[in-house]
Every structure is written in structure tokens, then in C-alpha cells.
Amino acid sequence: MAQCRLIIPWPAYRANGIRLPPARPRRFCPPATGTFSHSHPAARAFSTTAHRRIMDTTGFTDTQLDVRAAVSQICAPFSNTYWQEHDETQTDPADFHAALAAGGWLGIALPESLGGSGLGISEATIMMQTIAESGAGMAGAQAVHGNVYATQPLARFGSPAQRESVIPRVVKGEWRVCFGVTEPNAGLDTLRLRTVARKVKTERGDMYRITGQKIWITCAQVARKMMLLARTTPVEDVKKPSEGLSLFCIDLDRTKPGLEMRRIKKMGGRAVDANEVFFDDYEIPADTLVGEEDKGFKIILHGMNAERCLLAGEALGLGYAALARAAAYARERVVFGRPIGMNQAIAHPLADAYMRLEGAKLATYHAARLFDASKADTSITPHALGVACNSAKYMAAEAAFAACERAVLTHGGMGYAAEFDVERWFRECLVPRIAPVSREMILNYIGEKVLELPRSY
């Protein structure tokens, strides 16, 4: 039945203008013969990321494991070389953000009605961990973090018009979002923030004029929207300092007067920009207000526990990536005629780092599970949730720091070389220790709220 029509030898096949599909740049590299071989070096050459993941994955849900497998696949073509180069040249990983957006991943925790997938923080956390663990580190995580997290208050408290005009575009990757809370003189003490939004009537309708300064605004250079927290009632005129703050979802229109941003030079995660943003009577329409005026702080609070979980996941990813790399190096590097991993002075700190990571992992996914369950289960108190999320962030950040530092030391001199990646992860692992809340403030919080010790500040 099948009848042979023509046979074209290979060179003619090309000469006839039949375009061969491009060689696959991702997934697997076919050897020239068109067969797969487990031992063929080309099958592994496309990615420099260690295939061996060391984290124990028992106890995760099927959905979490699906997320982990699928996100790993997307991250695989973004090699460590890619992240080294973007770190060195301080270039935004726009194609990485686009790849995740194309797969619908930015909408992981956003409602299905707005183009999201309606999953919880448990799934978003493992996504962020997988991104960091792929070698992308904090840079990769921060390139998408704000879009996953800063959109949460908007999805919950925004007006239908705000939700429908912004969120689907963020999920598709057309617009990026940054989060504008921190100020130079209001870091941990958010309530003291001084950026002011003044309501004015103009011929263009009701407007707010923003004046003030924000700092450490990640991705402001590439973001189209900012979730901005500003004071709408002076602190002297409110009963509690937590009142009088309002949340806005504003355009960052660099062509309009009164908006300026300056990139901050920083230690790690250099691919992703962090900025000082200056507002000087920057005008925004009144309908950019999210929720009620003066009630912005409560809205922001809602997302803070979720952010702790995501950050904890990102820290875990860094830690596991660094530790896996250190263990691989310790197995292969031979000094004095034997692999250095045979020395207990090398092996024991790594084994210890592993157990710290595993412990922090349990704390992190416990906190994420509580966060998701707390929506329906009223027996989970805000106190229990706050303690769980803060503890998880603390433990994951510290475990990641231990793993990253030991990974550098295990590599000896080579740990100091950018080519081996561990120095990049080490620089980046300071971020989860400091942000979004410093480890000292978490210790204060546990001391005060759990152990009922007198407050020190």
C-alpha cells in the first residue's frame, strides 16, 4: 500500500531547499545517528545543571511534584552560564520571565477566572524553590517573584476593573509588577513610611499626587505596574499608625513628570535590578486605589505570610543547589591521592548542611500548608500562622547560608571562581537572611509573641 516515490540523498535534500528543523537546543541533544543512548555525552551536554536533586521528595503532593518536574524542564535550558553572564552584565533575564509566562506559571496562585491556575502557596513555594534550585538562584526567583506575589492583594481586594485589566496581562507576561513598600527611613517599621498620596481634583478628574521615596524596589526598571503603599492621612491624624495608609496599583510611566528611578549596585542577584524610586507630585488617577482608602496596611499584611513562604522556598532552592554541587565536587576532586569527600572535615559539614535544609524544608512546607488551609480552617489562628511562616523563613535562610558557605569552602580556591557558581549563590543567599524581614526581627518576634519575653525595641 505504501508506495515509494522518491529517494533524495542527504546533500540534495538540503540543496532542494527543504529546511531541516533546527537542532534541538533544549531537552535532549540528539546524537547524529538519531538514536538515544544513556551513555552518550551529548545527552547530558545541553545542561550544566546537576541532574541529581538531593532533596527528599516524599510527602509532597502529586500537584507539587508535577509543578517541580514541569518547572525544572522550563528552567533547564537557562544554564548556569546564562545566569553567570546575566549576573556579570546586569542584564534582566527577560526571556526567562517570558518562558515562565508562556507556560502560565506566573498565574500559579491567581484565580482561574483571571487566567491563573488557582493553586495555593504550597505550589507557588515549590515553584520558586525549583527556579532557585535550577541554578537561577535568587536572580531567577526575583525576576518573577513580584508577579506571583504582589498581585495577590490585587486579586483579592482590587475592583473588578482593576483585576481584569491588570492580572491577565501579568499572567501572560505582557506587564511586569513591582512592589513599592520599603522606604529609606521605613524599612522594618513600615508604619513610619513617609510617601504621601494627596487627593486633588483636576480637569482630568480625581487624582492622587504622590510624593516620596521608595527603595529596594526590585524590577522597577522593567515593571509596567507598581503596587504602591502610601500615606493618605497624616500619622498625627489617625488613632493607630497602621491606619491612614493606602494601597495603589499604579502605572510606572517614565515619560510623565515626577517619576525617577536609580539602580542600586548590589552584592548579588545582579541580573535583576533593584532601585530607588523617587516620586515628586507624580499624578495617578483616583481609580488606582486598591480597596478602601486608609485601609492599605491590612491588605498588605495579608500577603506578608505568603511572601515569607515563597522566600523560604527560594532559600531552600539555593541551599540544595549549592550543596548538591559541593557534594559532586567533593566526590570528584582528588587531593593527596583520594577524593576530598573522603575526609570527614569535608563530609561532615555537608551532611550537617543537608539535615538543616531538610528540617527547614519541613518547616517551610508546613507553613505553606497552614497558609493555604487557613482560608477554610478557622482553627488555624493568625498567631500560629505568623509563627510558622516567620520560623520557616528564618530556618530556610539560615540553612541556605550554611549550605552555600560550605559549598564555597568545599571548592577551595575554585569556590571563589565565578565559573563554579557557588560564589554567586553564596552572594545571593544573603537576601533571604535580610529580606523581607531580617532574622533579628524574627527572633524578636518569636521571643515576644511565643516566649512572652519583654519587647526590646
Q: Given the C-alpha cell 482593576, which residue does it identify?
A: 162
CB 308 within 8 A of CB 245: no
168 sits near another protein (criterion: CB under 8 A): no
Among 78, 105, 365, 426, binds another protein (CB under 8 A): 105
386 sits near another protein (criterion: CB under 8 A): no
Between β-strands 205-218 and 196-202, what pairing exists: parallel, antiparallel or unpaired? antiparallel
84 sits near another protein (criterion: CB under 8 A): no
327 sits near another protein (criterion: CB under 8 A): no
27 sits near another protein (criterion: CB under 8 A): yes
457 sits near another protein (criterion: CB under 8 A): no
144 sits near another protein (criterion: CB under 8 A): no
For residue 9, is the peptide bond before it cis, meaning its omega torsion is within 30 degrees of 0? no
300 sits near another protein (criterion: CB under 8 A): no
The one segment of 83-91, 104-112, 257-265, 404-412 that binds another protein by CB under 8 A: 104-112
The whole-angstrom separation of Cα 256 and Cα 203 is 17
The one segment of 30-38, 297-305, 344-352, 395-403 that binds another protein by CB under 8 A: 30-38
Give the dihedral of Cα atoms 348, 349, 355, 361; nearest 10 deg.
Answer: -160
456 sits near another protein (criterion: CB under 8 A): no
Among 55, 74, 290, 323, binds another protein (CB under 8 A): 74
- Smallest gap from residue 107 Cβ to another protein (A): 7
Specify burial of residue 402 (Cβ count, 10 A radius: 0-12, 13-18, 19+): buried
15 sits near another protein (criterion: CB under 8 A): no
Q: Given the C-alpha cell 491590612, which residue does it identify?
A: 298
Which secondary structure element, helix H or strand E, spans residue 275, and what is its range? strand 274-285
Q: Which is nearer to another protein, 372 or 428 (CB)?
A: 372
The 8-class DSSP code of residue 24 comes to P
30 sits near another protein (criterion: CB under 8 A): yes
Q: Which is nearer to another protein, 10 or 336 (CB)?
A: 10
41 sits near another protein (criterion: CB under 8 A): no
Cell of 285: 488617577
36 sits near another protein (criterion: CB under 8 A): yes
Among 94, 104, 156, 362, binds another protein (CB under 8 A): 104
- Smallest gap from residue 127 Cβ to another protein (A): 9
The whole-angstrom separation of Cα 118 and Cα 171 is 12
As a three-state string, the secondary structure of 117-167 is CCCCHHHHHHHHHHHHHHHHHHHHHHHHHHHHHCHHHHHHHCCHHHHHHHH
7 sits near another protein (criterion: CB under 8 A): yes
Q: Which is nearer to another protein, 15 or 434 (CB)?
A: 15
Residues 6+ apart with CB under 8 A from 175: 166, 169, 223, 224, 225
Residues that bind another protein (CB under 8 A): 1-10, 12-13, 18, 20-21, 24, 26-28, 30, 34-39, 43-44, 51, 63, 66-67, 70, 73-74, 102-105, 107-108, 117-119
